[in-house]
Every structure is written in structure tokens, then in C-alpha cells.
Amino acid sequence: MAANSYIDPLDAAFGGETPAERRPAAEPAYLRGLNAEQREAVLALDGPVLVLAGAGTGKTRVLTTRLAHILATRRAWPSQILAVTFTNKAAREMKERIGALIGGTVEGMQWLGTFHAIGARILRRHAELAGLKSNFTILDQDDQLRLIKQVIEAENIDEKRWPARTMAVLIDGWKNRGLLPKDVSESDGQAFAFGKGRKLYELYQARLKSLNAADFGDLLLEPIAIFKGNHEILDEYQKRFRYMLVDEYQDTNVAQYLWLRLISGANKNLCVVGDDDQSIYAWRGAEVENILRFERDYPGAKVIRLERNYRSTPAILGAASGLIKANAARLGKTLWTESEDQGEKVQVKGVWDAEEEARNVASEAENLQRKGHKFADMAILVRAAFQMREFEERFIALGVPYRVVGGPRFYERAEIRDALAYLRVVAQGDDDLAFERIINKPKRGLGDASIQALHNHARAADLPLLMAAEELGASDELAPRARSALSDLAKSFAHWQQQAALLPQAELAEIVLDESGYTDALKADKSPEAAGRLENLKELVRSMEEFESLAAFLEHVSLVMELENNDSEDRLNLMTLHAAKGLEFETVFLPGWEEGLFPSQRTMDEKGNAGLEEERRLAYVGLTRAKKRIFVSFAANRRVHGQWQSALPSRFIGELPEAHIDSVANEGFYGNYGSFRENQEFGSTYSSPGWRRAQEARAQARGPSIIEATAKVVASATGVAKFGNGERVFHQKFGYGRVVAVEGNKLLVDLEKAGSKRVMDGFVVKA
């Protein structure tokens, strides 16, 4: 009944060319409150659509409303909609919000999920076409790395010179680009260990197959291969999906792009949503190009821009827009807001070192909290994880509650992975990788020699390790000690496997952990972390209760590497800029805006201007997380790998429009020169011509002003000013000196005061 009352008016009103103004009164409630562009993005169902959704423009709302609309109007069944996100969180949120919009829970949206979850689903259905069984295990990074290491060792390659890590990056890179071993070009395949790259990739893939396992990359790569090789299967999917939707399109890589192109096929009801200005994962294979060329890929695509921002103040938007304008490769959007009140200016503050920076952030946060703001509405966003330490120490000292978002994830902790490995072997006795992980955890006297023997036996008899262990334990090939250890372990697993059929998985897990001696070993461990580990294991067992079966739990774990943390305590948020994407906070602290750190020197060295632009987008993401206020800061000195380094303010600071910022310098800032009074002056008259003149005059005597310094750093990093031998330079910490040698971006400088030192060229300017 409800279906019919919806379908007709909507078809009449929106299916054709009827202008939006003549909408019938009977408009579904979920469309109310959308602005014109959002509405258009929801209603443009036919044909390809690109929604360019700037930060804070209501993207998620549009996306969910669009899906709800398709469902409510019965244009497609839930099972005929493909909706892809990057994170489980986004998928979950989408499900919940659609449910809220159309009432009740959303049943049957089996194809709403992450690229990987959907890929796994497809691969399980056609596993045999990829040389796998449908119950294949999904390997995470850790497993993957260990496997690659084995392959490298088996090839007698010196793992020192050719680390598995590097090979993993290569393989991932190929998989991200949709390349099977045979597709890797001759020259690319030459990489690694004197031209063995492609061979190793091939061997690794073969090992995966023999272990009945797939890594994350395979979850996309294998379906692509299946689609390409089996037209009838591809056809089935193309017919099934009447509407397709992809979130965060700017983050798709080549493989995901190919996968989508195949699946969307002739049916072009494909809607992609993204923001090129928020593309911050190019280093992980994402191709901003995908979004930039969407209109060419899908001719006639409708492009809808969401530019009206509902999140931030005009001052914040002004600062963010000013910054991102410096990027050349962008589709171009300008965020605007109806808000009259400019809001607080972005505060930019220079400090002496990271410790002072942390002190400042903590005291600002406490100030705000005293005024009634919640810690949970504030976030500190750092470029790199190592910056967190300073803040954590300060917060602990002050007793400020904080939470690290996205840090080492629950399922990546060693004890959790060990427990899972046990369970994996219980669930699937042939999971060799898992078995190997726990064969000597806790220590049971099985070392390299025994494990080697076990491997040999397994290979000779063509058996999984667990079964080989059983046989070897019964034979007399090994020393008595190792033999009984092996046989005990095999017996335990046989016992647990029996129990698995009888007991709920949580109980089973408890038994396994106790009987294996794992918990006992932890209890005996006197290190300070042991207690927390036991706590984590308890948490793991608890979380298992919610699942239907052990298998369901394990599938969940391999794809969804996270656990809900439902603590409602009021804590300050601390995370990397990457982890902050998609989140918003009243107050945002952006520390560490220094040349070399942010933008990161390494990114600029490796990726040149493209790298710099990505760093700038990262800054843009950081700025646009804030609703009300932003505190940017930079330290003159910072300890990097235990060495003190001096740094100049980030060029990004110079790119923030002066109208929207408030500069404050601290006592002791750039300590050696500038008294307290001068610094006060610096703070209030940062941009006045008079101040600049004064700085210029002083530069003769004491060194360049901060503004000049920033300008010079920018010039040097963009190649305008490189250093030559004999050149006179100024270093912020050590003063004047003369360049005596240049090696890449490092300089050997004879300093007038400090003697000869090696410094990064980013830290000195021409004098």
C-alpha cells in the first residue's frame, strides 16, 4: 500500500522535467530541509552523476537520502543497490541513517559495504574461478608480510638488503593498479633483488592459493579477473545492480576504478560522491585522476557541486579556501556559508619547542573547558604519530583526560592476534599461517629446528602443518621434548575442534586461551603491559558473544579491524590528520606547522610538487574539521630521532589569508633574538607595513624575519633558490655560516658560532 502511494506522485513530479517549484504537496518527509543542490543530487537518479561535495556540505545526508529515496519509491529492491564506502564506519553509519529515514531497519542491503567487504563477498561466490575455496582466509598486513618474508627466504635472497616490507609495497602497488603478475611490465618487474620482483610476486600469489588465502588486494583484483574472464558472471552483476553509489570517490585506486567500470557496464545509474580537495591517500594508490576525469569516462554525466557549508564559520572557510587555492590540480569549488558572523580568527602561534607547544594546547583546552566547552568537542590533529607523545605526556601530567583516535587498533595488538590465530586454527585446521604464529606461543620449547622439521614433513606429506604436527608427534623423528610438545599441541587442537561444535564461541575462546597456557603465560609476565593484555583478551571474548558463530566472528574480524569503543567520557581527542577525515569538532588544534614536518620533507622529496599539493590538501582537511575555532602552532625547535633540529614556520602559514588570522608570538619565541616587547609587537602588528620594514632592517643585523624566512623557504623548496658551495647562509638556530658541501638536500655548513654541521637545506636560508 505504502509503496503505491509513493510511486506515482514521485514519478510524475521528479522523473520528468517538471521544475522543482511545482512539486506536489505530498513530498516525502526525508526531502525536507535539503537545499536546491542537495535535492538535485538526491533526485537525479538516472544516468551518471558526479557530486562534488565540499567539506561540511551535508554529503552523508545527501547520500543516505538518495538511497532512502530509491528504496521508498521502489525503484529498486535493496538487493539491487550497490553502495560502496571505504570504511566500515561509513557503511555502518549509512545503514543506520537510511533506516532512520525510511523507518525500521534496512534489511536486504547486502551490497552496502566497503570495497573489500563486497569484493570478498563476490570472491567467495566464485572462489573456484580464482583457484580458491569459498572459505578462504583473508590475510591482513601482518600475515601478508610474514608470507612475503617466507617467499623471499625460500628464494635465498638476503632479507637484509631486500626487506619484505619493500616487496610488500611493490606488490600492493601492483594490486592497487589492477595488475596480476602476468600484467606487470617487464621493466616494473625488474624491481627488487636484481630483477626478481615479478617472479616473487608470482610465487607469493601461488603461495596464497596453496594456503587458500587472499590478501586485501586480492579481494578486488580477483573479482576483476573473474569478471574479465567470465562474461556471464559479469553480466549477472551488471543486471542485478540498478543503482550504484560510491562514496569518497577521490580515494579510489585503479583497481577499484576498473572494478566499478566493469560492474557498472551498460547500466550507467552510477553516482559517485567525493571531493578532490580532500584526496589525501595518493601515497596509498588513490588516484585523484579518477574524480577529475569522471565526466570523460561517463559522457553526459551530471555534475552537482555542493558548496554551501553548514559546519564552519566564515573565518575558518576563508582561511581554508585561501590555502587550497594554492593548489593547481583541482576541479575548483568555493565553500560559502550564510552565516553573518565572521567568527573567531584562526590563531597562529609560534613557540620555542614542542614541549611549549603542548603546554599551550593543554592550557587553551583547559581554558575552554572552564568556560563550559567539552573536551570531546576539541581535537588535536597532528601530521605524524610521533608528535602525539609530547601531548600525551603533558595531558597525563595535568590529568587532562584524552583519547587517541585510530592508534594501534584493537585487532592489531599482538595478544589479540595470537588469540585469533588460535581460533583460526580451531575453525580451519589448514590455516598454516595462523598455526605458525602460535606454534610457540606461549613458549613450549619449539624452536627453529623443530619448526623446520615440521615444515619439511608437511611438504613431503603434502599436509597442513597441524596434521603434520600430529604425525610428527606420533613418530620418533624429533627429540623427545619437541615431540611431546608437538603432539600435545595437536591433541589440544583436536579437542578444541570437537568442543567448537558444542560450545558457544565465546566460551570456546576462553577454554582455548586457558588450556593453551596463553593466559597463564600472561599472568606470569611481570611487565607493565601484561595486565592490559589480559584485559584486552577479556574484551575480545566479550565481543565474540554478539556473533552467530565462530566463522561469522572471524569473517568480521578479518574485514573489520575495529571494535566499538563506547565510552562516553569527556575526553580530548588526539589523532593524525588522516584519521580526522570525515570528523568535525568545535575546536581544532593544529600543531607542528613547520617546514619539513608539515609539509613533510619526505613527501616533497619523493613526490615533488604533487606531494606538496597532497600535503596542502591534508592541511585543508585539518582546517575544515573545525566548526568554531582553530589554533595553529609551530615550534622553532623540535627533537627528531633524538636530535634537536630547528625549523621554520610552514609555508602553509604564509598561505592563510591575513584577514582571517591572528598571529601571536610567545615569550621566548625564537629566543635568541627578539625581546618580550618585540614579540608582543610581532603578535599584534604582524602584517603592518611598518613592522615589515622594521623586520627588514633588523634582518641586516640579526637574521631574516619570519615572513621573509617563510618566503625564502618556499622559494628554495620550489627550486628557485638552491644552495651552492661557498654560499653564505643563515640558520635559525646556529646563525650565519658558509656552505662547504651539498649532498642532495643536506648541506655541510661551516657555522660562525657553532662550527661545522650537517643540516637540511630546509633549515637554512640565503643570507
Partner DNA sequence: CTCGGCAGAATTTTT
Partner DNA sequence: TTCTGCCGAG
Binding residues for DNA (CB under 7 A): 86-89, 114, 116-117, 141, 159-160, 216, 248, 251, 281, 283-284, 286, 383-386, 406, 409, 440, 443-451, 482, 559-562, 575-576, 578-579, 581, 600, 602-603, 606, 615, 639, 641-642
Measured from the CB atom, the residue of 356 and 555 that comes closer to DNA is 555
Are 505 and 551 a contacting pair, CB within 8 Å? no
Distances (CA, A) of 301 to 15, 69, 261, 286: 17, 20, 14, 22
Q: Least CB distance from residue 528 to DNA, whole Å?
A: 12
Measured from the CB atom, the residue of 313 and 601 that comes closer to DNA is 601
Measured from the CB atom, the residue of 545 and 606 that comes closer to DNA is 606
How far apart are alpha carbons 2 and 687 in whole angstroms? 63
CA atoms within 13 A on the CB side of 54: 25
Among 39, 59, 175, 424, the active-site one is 59
The distance of Cα 438 from the centroid of its chain, to the nearest Å, equals 29
As a whole number of angstroms, the longest Cα–Cα distance in the chain is 90
| Annotated catalytic residue 60 | yes
Are 519 and 513 a contacting pair, CB within 8 Å? yes
Secondary structure class of 728 (helix, strand, coil): strand
Give the phi and the psi of residue 22 in degrees, each rounded to 5: -95, 30
User: Where on the phi/psi map is residue 48: left (φ > 0), alpha (ψ -120 to 50), or beta?
Assistant: beta
> Residue 183 corresponds to which amino acid?
D
3-state secondary structure 663-683: EEECCCCCCCCCCHHHHHHHH
CA atoms within 13 A on the CB side of 327: 25
Measured from the CB atom, the residue of 154 and 449 that comes closer to DNA is 449
Q: In what order do the strands lie in the sheet with 243-246?
A: 112-114, 81-85, 243-246, 270-274, 49-53, 302-306
The answer, yes or no, to whether the previous bond of 464 is cis (omega within 30 of 0) is no
| Annotated catalytic residue 278 | yes
| Annotated catalytic residue 150 | no
> Residue 304 corresponds to which amino acid?
I
Among 37, 247, 275, 377, the active-site one is 247
Q: What secondary structure letter does DSSP report for 650?
A: P
Q: Least CB distance from residue 249 to DNA, whole Å?
A: 11
Q: Least CB distance from residue 479 to DNA, whole Å?
A: 9
Measured from the CB atom, the residue of 308 and 403 that comes closer to DNA is 403
Q: What pairing do the DSSP bridges indicate for beta strands 643-646 and 661-665?
A: unpaired
The answer, yes or no, to whether the previous bond of 408 is cis (omega within 30 of 0) is no
How far apart are alpha carbons 273 and 54 in whole angstroms? 10
* Nearest residue to 398 via CA among 435, 347, 364: 364
Q: Least CB distance from residue 410 to DNA, whole Å?
A: 11
DSSP state string for 230-246: -HHHHHHHHHH-SEEEE
Measured from the CB atom, the residue of 500 and 575 that comes closer to DNA is 575
How far apart are alpha carbons 232 and 236 in whole angstroms? 6
| Sign of the CA dihedral running 645, 405, 525, 557 | negative
Cα dihedral 166, 171, 172, 173 in deg (nearest 10):
90
Q: Least CB distance from residue 612 to DNA, whole Å?
A: 10
| Annotated catalytic residue 625 | yes
* Nearest residue to 640 via CA among 580, 590, 598, 611: 598
Measured from the CB atom, the residue of 66 and 383 that comes closer to DNA is 383
Measured from the CB atom, the residue of 481 and 542 that comes closer to DNA is 481
Q: Least CB distance from residue 172 to DNA, whole Å?
A: 8
Measured from the CB atom, the residue of 170 and 706 that comes closer to DNA is 170
Q: Least CB distance from residue 442 to DNA, whole Å?
A: 8
Q: In what order do the strands lie in the sheet with 728-731?
A: 755-760, 746-751, 735-743, 728-731, 764-766
Q: Least CB distance from residue 456 to DNA, whole Å?
A: 14
Among 114, 144, 250, 278, the active-site one is 278
Among 175, 177, 533, 625, the active-site one is 625
Measured from the CB atom, the residue of 57 and 253 that comes closer to DNA is 253
Among 60, 150, 347, 680, the active-site one is 60
Residue whose cell numbers read 505504502:
2
Q: Residue 760: which residues within 8 A CB-CB, separation 6 or more?
A: 596, 601, 645, 745, 746, 747
Measured from the CB atom, the residue of 217 and 703 that comes closer to DNA is 217
Instruction: Give the H or E element holding residue 395.
Output: helix 388-398
Measured from the CB atom, the residue of 315 and 466 that comes closer to DNA is 466
How far apart are alpha carbons 744 and 620 in whole angstroms? 29
Q: Least CB distance from residue 292 to DNA, whole Å?
A: 16
3-state secondary structure 449-500: HHHHHHHHHHHHHCCCHHHHHHHHHHCCCCCHHHHHHHHHHHHHHHHHHHHH
Q: Least CB distance from residue 679 to DNA, whole Å?
A: 29
Among 172, 248, 276, 287, the active-site one is 248
Q: Least CB distance from residue 280 to DNA, whole Å?
A: 7
Catalytic residue set: 59-60, 247-248, 278, 625
